[in-house]
Every structure is written in structure tokens, then in C-alpha cells.
Amino acid sequence: MARAARSTQLTAVKQTTGKPTIALDRPIAAAVESPRSPDSLEVGKRRRNVSDLGAEIARTVGFIGAALLCAAGASKLWRPAVTAKALSATRLPAGRAPIRVVAVAELVVGAGYFASPGIASAIALSVLYFLFTAFAVRVLRSAGSAVPCGCFGGADSQYSVSHVGFDAFVAAVVAAGTATGAPASLPALTASGVLYLGALALATYVAWLVLVDFGTILVLVRSTGGESRGAIT
């Protein structure tokens, strides 16, 4: 009986070759071929939208980080003396050769991300910013915020928590973005592409201001507060 019932559920269909194949009965085929419910389609659409948004954020943050790397590398090659002070404060080699190595690495990684954004370039960018985060933490622990960062070759910016926060943010976001695949290239020079590039340039400038000016402002506020308390006492 069981065999007879099973045989009624399966139908042998002979192809032109004469070899039998097994076809599912109507209830099973209907279950397999039934369309997805509207709720499941909506959930899938939302997940894709969230994934696309995350990939876009990671790509934009990566381009901002890459642009700052190129600027920092060029500045260090031009004026390495300030960077040497930051290295000396952490008891690291502060000669021109190590600074040039760091500068070239920044230029290569930054330019490489722009030229060919992919998994490898994103990982390299993320690793470099993780190293910058560790270095900034070491500077703040060993010498405090009185050390000029020398990120862009200038002596007017000081190390602060903004360096740690920004470097860690770029490293984490770019690293997380690799989970969604390789980042996309810069958009074409269409209307939307030009708008994106303008917003990207503005965001990069704001990030540069945060790194260069926030630390200096923070040091000035602290010193002014210390002088005010001294005058009161």
C-alpha cells in the first residue's frame, strides 16, 4: 500500500532520449513554484536598501580617508620636521627616512583607493587607519595633547581625541564595508555625479578642519581655563 501511494505521488516522464525522469506531483510543484508573499518581498527589499546604504556610507568614508591620506603624505614629504617631533614624543625613529616611508605609504594607499577601489585597497586603507589610531592613543598617553600632530606638515595642530575618534571611525567603517563587497568607483560627471563629488569635497574639508583645528581649539580652551583658575586662586 505504501509503495502504491508513493507511486501515485510521482510521475515518470520520458524525454526524447527515452530516459525516465521524475516529476513532482501537483501539490509539491505548487509549493515549490509558489510566489513569495508580499511581506517577505518587502523584508527583502528593506534588507537590500540597508545593505546598499551601508555600502554607500563605507565608500564615501573611504574616499574621504583616502583624500586625507594623499594630503598628509604630500605634506610630510614637503615638511617632515613636525612629524619628527610627534615620532620623538613616542620614542619612535624620527629620521627623515622613516617619515618618507610613512608618507609614501599614505600616498600609495590613498591614491590606490581612488584609482582602483576594491577589497584589497579597502583593507589597506582600514589597516593604515587602525595603525594611526594606535599611534594617536600612544601619543596622548605618553606626551599628552601638547605634541603637534604633524599629520599635514603643520605645527599649528595638536593631537587630541578627535584624531583617535576619526581614525578609528574610518578604519571601522571601511572594514565593515568590505563585508558588502568591493566599493564602487567614483561616479561619472553627470549632474548627480558632480553633486556627489561636491559633497565629498565638502565632507573632506570638514574632516580636515576637525583634525587640524579641533585639537588646537581644545588645547587653547584647556590652557585658558587653567589660567582663569590660577588667576582666581
- Left if phi > 0, otherwise alpha if psi is -120 to 50, otherwise beta: which for 21? beta
Among 10-19, 73-82, 185-194, name the one with the lowest average pLDDT: 10-19
pLDDT at site 130 = 96
Q: How far is CA 134 from CA 138, 161, 166, 196, 212, in A?
A: 6, 12, 12, 31, 18
3-class DSSP assignment, residue 69: helix
Hey, where are the domains in the chain? Answer: 50-192
Identify the band that residue 223 occupies on the pLDDT scale cut at 50, 70 and 90. Answer: low
Over the stretch 76-113, which tens digit does the pLDDT of each residue have?
Answer: 888 777 777 777 777 777 777 888 888 999 999 999 99
CB-side neighbour CA atoms (13 Å) of 190 = 4
Q: In the predicted model, is pLDDT for residue 114 greater than 80?
A: yes
Q: Write out pLDDT tens, residues 34-43.
A: 555 665 555 5
Res 197: pLDDT: 93
- What pTM was computed for the model? 0.69
Hey, is 176 helix, strand or coil?
helix
Q: How far lies 116's CA from each of 139, 179, 182, in Å? A: 33, 17, 10
C-alpha distances in angstroms, 122 versus 63, 69, 81, 103, 193?
10, 13, 30, 18, 21
